[in-house]
Amino acid sequence: MLEVRNLYAGYGIVPVLEDVSLSVKAGEILLIGGENGAGKSTLMRAIAGFNKPDRGEVLLEGKPLQGMAPEAIAQAGLRLVLDGHRVFPELSVYDNLRMGAAARRGDQAGFARAVDEIYDVFPILKEKHRAYARDLSGGQQQMLALGQAFVAQPKVLLCDEPSMGLAQALLPPILSFLRKWAESGTAVVIVEQHLKVTAPYADSAMIIERGKVKFSCKASELDAKLASMETVAVAH
Positions touching another protein (CB under 8 A) are: 10-16, 33-39, 41, 83-84, 124, 131, 135-140, 143, 161, 163-172, 193, 195, 197, 209-211, 229-230, 233-234, 236
- Minimum distance, C-beta of residue 170 to another protein, in the bound complex (Å): 7
- Minimum distance, C-beta of residue 93 to another protein, in the bound complex (Å): 12
- 163 vs 186, beta carbon nearer another protein: 163
- 75 vs 228, beta carbon nearer another protein: 228
- With contact defined as beta carbons under 8 Å apart, do 8 and 53 qualify? yes
β-strands 29-33, 187-191 pairing? parallel
Measured between alpha carbons, how far is 213 from 236 in angstroms, rounded to an integer? 22
CA dihedral 56, 42, 146, 149 (to 10 degrees): -30
- Minimum distance, C-beta of residue 139 to another protein, in the bound complex (Å): 3
- 113 vs 210, beta carbon nearer another protein: 210
- 14 vs 109, beta carbon nearer another protein: 14
- Minimum distance, C-beta of residue 135 to another protein, in the bound complex (Å): 7
**CA distances (Å), origin 89, targets 95, 135, 138, 233:** 11, 8, 11, 45
- 85 vs 101, beta carbon nearer another protein: 85
Measured between alpha carbons, how far is 20 from 56 in angstroms, rounded to an integer? 9
**CA distances (Å), origin 5, targets 27, 30, 178, 231:** 20, 15, 25, 32
- With contact defined as beta carbons under 8 Å apart, do 199 and 32 qualify? no
- Minimum distance, C-beta of residue 37 to another protein, in the bound complex (Å): 4
